[in-house]
Structure 1
Amino acid sequence: MTTPDTRRPRSASDILRIALRRNVGAMVWGTVLMGLYQAGETAFPIALGLIVEHTMQDRSTGSLALSIGSLALIITTVSLSWRFGMRILQKANTTEAHRWRVRVADCGLQPVARDVDLKSGEVLTIATEDADQTADIVEVVPLLVSSLVAVLVATVALGLADLRLGVLVIVGTVAILSVLSVMSKRIGSSTREQQARVARAGAKVADLITGLRPLHGFGGNHAAFLSYRKVSTEARHQAIVVARANGAYAGVATALNATLAAAVTLTAGWLAFNGRITIGELVMAVGLAQFIMEPLKMFSDMPKYVMMAHASAERMALVLAAPAVATPGPELPAAGGDLEIDCVRYGALRGLKFRVHAGEFVAVAVYQPRAAADLASVLAVKVAPDAYEGVVRLGGQDIAGLSVDAVREHMLVNPYEGEIFAGTLRTNIDPSGTSRTVPEAVEASMLTDVVALHSGGLDHGVRDRGANLSGGQRQRLSLARALAADSDVLVLHDPTTAVDAVTEQLIARNVAKLRRGRTTVVITSSPSLLDAADRVLVLDDGVVTAEDSHRNLLATDEDYRRAVAR
Structure 2
Amino acid sequence: MSAPPTTATALLRRAIGRHRGAVLASSALMTSWQVCESLVPVLIGIVIDQAVASGDTSRLLGWASALCLLFAVLSYSYRYGARIGFRALQEETHALRTEVSAHVLDPRGARTDRLPGDVLTIATADADMVGVVIRQLTMTAGALVGLSVSAVALATIDVRIALVVLVGVPLVLALTQALSPRLARRSEARQESIGRATGVATDLVRGLRPLKGIGAETIALERYREVSRRAVDDAVAASRWEGVLHGLTAGLSGLFLAAVALLAGLLAIDGQLSIGELIAVVGLAQFVAEPIALLSYLVAQVAQSRASAQRIVDFLASPPLVLEGDQAAGAAASLALSDVVSGPLRGLSVSIAPGRLVALVVEDPAEAQEIVTLLRGEAVPERGRVELSGAVLTDLGVDHARSLLVVADHHVDLFEGTLLSNVDPAGALSEARLATVVAASAVDDVAEHSADGLRTQVRVGGTSLSGGQRQRLGLARALAADPPVLVLHDPTTAVDAVTEHRIARALRDLRHGTDRRTTLVLTSSPALLVVADEVVHVRAGVAVAVGTHHALVADLGSSAYREAVLR
TM-score norm. by structure 1 comes to: 0.92
Task: Indicate the residue corresponding to 2:534 in structure 1.
Answer: 535
Query: How many residues are matched?
Result: 560
Tell me which of 385, 393, 396 is aligned to 2:390: 396
Return the offset for 1:501: 0.7
Q: Check conservation: 2:136, 2:302, Cα contact below 8 A.
A: yes
Flag the 1:274–1:457 CA change in 2: closer, same or farther, 3 A: farther
Q: More deviation in 212-221 or 130-139?
A: 212-221
Q: Check conservation: 1:11, 1:321, Cα contact below 8 A.
A: no
Tell me which of 225, 234, 242 is aligned to 2:221: 225
2:93 is the alignment partner of 1:97:
yes
2:425 is the alignment partner of 1:426:
no
Matches within 5 A, 1:63-212: 63-112=59-108, 118-206=114-202, 208=204
1:551 is matched by which residue type in structure 2? Answer: H
| In 1: Cα distance, 2:384 partner to 2:304 partner | 47
In the TM superposition, what whole-angstrom CA distance separates every residue of 1:318-363 from its partner, at most 9, and x where no partner exists? 2223444675312343466211111111122111112212222222
Matches within 5 A, 1:273-284: 273-284=269-280
Task: Indicate the residue corresponding to 2:40 in structure 1.
Answer: 44
Query: What secondary structure is seen at the aligned counterpart in 2 of 1:497?
Result: coil
Q: More deviation in 51-60 or 530-539?
A: 51-60
Q: Check conservation: 2:191, 2:307, Cα contact below 8 A.
A: no
| In 2: Cα distance, 1:344 partner to 1:255 partner | 69
In the TM superposition, what whole-angstrom CA distance separates every residue of 1:377-413 from its partner, at most 9, and x where no partner exists? 1101222x2x532111111111222112332232111
Q: More deviation in 405-414 or 205-214?
A: 205-214
| In 2: Cα distance, 1:73 partner to 1:434 partner | 65
Return the offset for 1:140: 0.8
Query: What secondary structure is seen at the aligned counterpart in 1 of 2:307?
Result: helix
Flag the 1:85–1:161 CA change in 2: closer, same or farther, 3 A: same
Q: More deviation in 549-558 or 280-289?
A: 549-558
Return the offset for 1:277: 2.3
| In 1: Cα distance, 2:361 partner to 2:552 partner | 11
Query: What secondary structure is seen at the aligned counterpart in 1 of 2:535?
Result: strand
2:500 is the alignment partner of 1:481:
no
1:391 is matched by which residue type in structure 2? Answer: R
| In 1: Cα distance, 2:33 partner to 2:424 partner | 53
Flag the 1:296–1:433 CA change in 2: closer, same or farther, 3 A: farther
Return the offset for 1:88: 2.0
2:16 is the alignment partner of 1:15:
no
Task: Indicate the residue corresponding to 1:26 in structure 2.
Answer: 22
Task: Indicate the residue corresponding to 1:559 in structure 2.
Answer: 560
Task: Indicate the residue corresponding to 2:348 in structure 1.
Answer: 352
Task: Indicate the residue corresponding to 1:462 in structure 2.
Answer: 458
Task: Indicate the residue corresponding to 1:307 in structure 2.
Answer: 303
| In 2: Cα distance, 1:335 partner to 1:213 partner | 45
Flag the 1:250–1:57 CA change in 2: closer, same or farther, 3 A: closer
Return the offset for 1:31: 0.5
| In 2: Cα distance, 1:390 partner to 1:203 partner | 37
| In 2: Cα distance, 1:37 partner to 1:439 partner | 68
Return the offset for 1:270: 1.9
Flag the 1:247–1:191 CA change in 2: closer, same or farther, 3 A: same
Task: Indicate the residue corresponding to 1:258 in structure 2.
Answer: 254
Identity of aligned residues (%): 38
Return the offset for 1:233: 1.6
Flag the 1:286–1:453 CA change in 2: closer, same or farther, 3 A: same
Task: Indicate the residue corresponding to 2:401 in structure 1.
Answer: 407
Q: More deviation in 15-24 or 66-75?
A: 66-75
CA RMSD of the aligned region, Å? 2.5
Return the offset for 1:159: 1.1
| In 2: Cα distance, 1:92 partner to 1:84 partner | 12
Q: Check conservation: 1:181, 1:303, Cα contact below 8 A.
A: yes
In the TM superposition, what whole-angstrom CA distance separates every residue of 1:250-281 from its partner, at most 9, and x where no partner exists? 11111222222222222222222222222222
2:531 is matched by which residue type in structure 1? Answer: A
Q: Check conservation: 1:111, 1:381, Cα contact below 8 A.
A: no
2:554 is matched by which residue type in structure 1? Answer: A
Q: Which runs of 5+ in 1 are unaligned?
A: none
Return the offset for 1:146: 0.9
2:503 is the alignment partner of 1:507:
yes
Task: Indicate the residue corresponding to 1:374 in structure 2.
Answer: 370
In the TM superposition, what whole-angstrom CA distance separates every residue of 1:207-229 from its partner, at most 9, and x where no partner exists? 55566566556655444433332
Q: Check conservation: 2:322, 2:376, Cα contact below 8 A.
A: no
Flag the 1:253–1:61 CA change in 2: closer, same or farther, 3 A: same
| In 1: Cα distance, 2:27 partner to 2:424 partner | 48
Q: Check conservation: 1:113, 1:382, Cα contact below 8 A.
A: no
Matches within 5 A, 1:44-63: 44-56=40-52, 59-63=55-59
| In 2: Cα distance, 1:213 partner to 1:389 partner | 41
Query: What secondary structure is seen at the aligned counterpart in 2 of 1:292?
Result: helix
Return the offset for 1:59: 4.0
Task: Indicate the residue corresponding to 1:239 in structure 2.
Answer: 235
Return the offset for 1:230: 2.4
Flag the 1:124–1:522 CA change in 2: closer, same or farther, 3 A: same
Flag the 1:424–1:81 CA change in 2: closer, same or farther, 3 A: farther
2:493 is the alignment partner of 1:492:
no
1:561 is matched by which residue type in structure 2? Answer: R
Q: More deviation in 422-431 or 343-352?
A: 422-431
Q: Check conservation: 1:338, 1:394, Cα contact below 8 A.
A: yes
Tell me which of 449, 456, 471 is aligned to 2:467: 471
Q: Check conservation: 2:265, 2:278, Cα contact below 8 A.
A: yes
Q: Check conservation: 1:435, 1:485, Cα contact below 8 A.
A: no
Q: More deviation in 29-38 or 479-488?
A: 479-488
| In 2: Cα distance, 1:511 partner to 1:407 partner | 22
TM-score norm. by structure 2 comes to: 0.92
Tell me which of 277, 285, 293 is aligned to 2:281: 285
Q: Check conservation: 2:172, 2:252, Cα contact below 8 A.
A: yes
Task: Indicate the residue corresponding to 2:410 in structure 1.
Answer: 416
Flag the 1:286–1:314 CA change in 2: closer, same or farther, 3 A: same
| In 1: Cα distance, 2:319 partner to 2:263 partner | 60
| In 2: Cα distance, 1:423 partner to 1:45 partner | 62
In the TM superposition, what whole-angstrom CA distance separates every residue of 1:277-304 from its partner, at most 9, and x where no partner exists? 2222222222222233222211222222
Q: Check conservation: 2:325, 2:394, Cα contact below 8 A.
A: yes
Q: Check conservation: 1:336, 1:489, Cα contact below 8 A.
A: no
Q: More deviation in 107-116 or 19-28?
A: 107-116
Matches within 5 A, 1:321-340: 321-324=317-320, 328-334=324-330, 337-340=333-336
| In 1: Cα distance, 2:81 partner to 2:453 partner | 51
